[in-house]
Structure 1
Amino acid sequence: NNVYVAPGNAGSAREPKVTNITITADDPADLLQFALDHHIDLTIVGPEVPLVLGIVDRFAAAGLRCFGPTQAAAQLEGSKAFAKDFLARHKIPTARYQSFTDPDAAEAFIHEMGAPVVVKADGLAAGKGVILAQSEQEAIAAMRGMLSGADFGEAGRQVVIEEFLHGEEASFI
C-alpha cells in the first residue's frame, strides 16, 4: 500500500506512504513501464500534458487502470481551437471567435472585434496562454508574440481570438 507521485514535490515527500519518483509527467512511456514494473493498481493523472500525449490510452492498452480522458477527449483541453470548434459544431453557447495562424488575418479580426478582446495560445501554455487585452494594440502585440513562437513556443503557433465576455469564470471536472 504505497502511493507514488511523479515527479512529486516537497509536500508529497513528507507523507509517510508516498514515494516521489523522478519521472516527468511528459514521459508516458517511462510512466507506463514504472506502473508495469511496480504492479500499480490505479493511476490518477492530474496534469494536462500526459493526457494530451495519450497516457490513458497507453495504460488501457497495457491492461492498467488509469483515471483520465482518452487522448482524443483530452484535445478539448489541449487545443483551444479544437475546443471552440467542438462547441460551435455541437451548438454549445460560446463567445464569438476565430482561429488564426496568419498574423495579418488575426489583426484584421481584432480590429473587427474591437477591445476588450481575448487572445489565446491554442496549445498548452502552463496556464499562462490567455491574454485579456484591454486595447487593440495590446491584443495585436499579444497575438504577434504568440504566433512568432516568442511567447509560448509551439503552443502559440495558432491563436484563438475571441469576444470578451463579462462574468464569473467557473471550471468543472
Structure 2
Amino acid sequence: MDHFVEDENFFPGIQRPTEGNRTPEKEPGFHITPDRREWFRHVLARTEAAGLTAFAGDGQATVQYLTKRQGSRHFTGFAHAATGSVQDAREQLLGIQFVGTDHVFRLNRTRVEAFSGVAEDLFRHLEGGRVERYRREVYARRDAWPLDTWDSRWRGPVSVNPDGSVLAMRVLTS
C-alpha cells in the first residue's frame, strides 16, 4: 500500500456468463474481477489515506495518495487561504493528541469553532507515506478509542472515529 498506484482504465459493464453459444449483453455497472482485486484494494487504501490527510488539512500529504484522474492536481501549487484548509492546529481531545485544522464560523449569530484532524502519531505515518503501518496501528486500536462525546477541557462535543479522525466543535464566548 505504500507505493504509488497507477491509473487504470476499465470499461464499465458486468459480463454475465455465456448461455450456450450466445454471449449476453453486458449489464450496467462495474465488476471487479479476481485479477483486478489487488489493484482495487490498493486504490481504496490510498484513497482512504487521501481522505484522512485532506480532512486534517494537509494538501501536501494528500497529493501523494491520489492519481491524476482522482484529482492530485487540485492539491498542488498555490492554495489561497480562503479556498482550502491548512493543517496548522494541534489539540488534545479526550486525552489524545490530534493534528488538523480549525475553522471559526457563525451558526445562528453564534461564533463556533470546529476542529478536524487525525491522531498525531497515525497522521505522521500517513504524512510519511506509510499506509501499511497506519492500517496496522489503527486496526490494533479499534476497541481502544474513547466512547466519550464531550471533552470538558475543550468545552464541546467530540467525535472520534475508528480511523483515528476527530471532529470537535465548541461555542466561542469572546
Asked whether the two chains share a fold, i.e. TM above 0.5, the reply is: no
Is the helix fraction higher in 1 or 2?
1
TM-score range (shorter-chain normalised) is under 0.3
Is the strand fraction higher in 1 or 2?
2
Structure of higher RCO (CA pairs closer than 8 Å, 6+ residues apart): 2
> Bigger radius of gyration, 1 or 2?
2
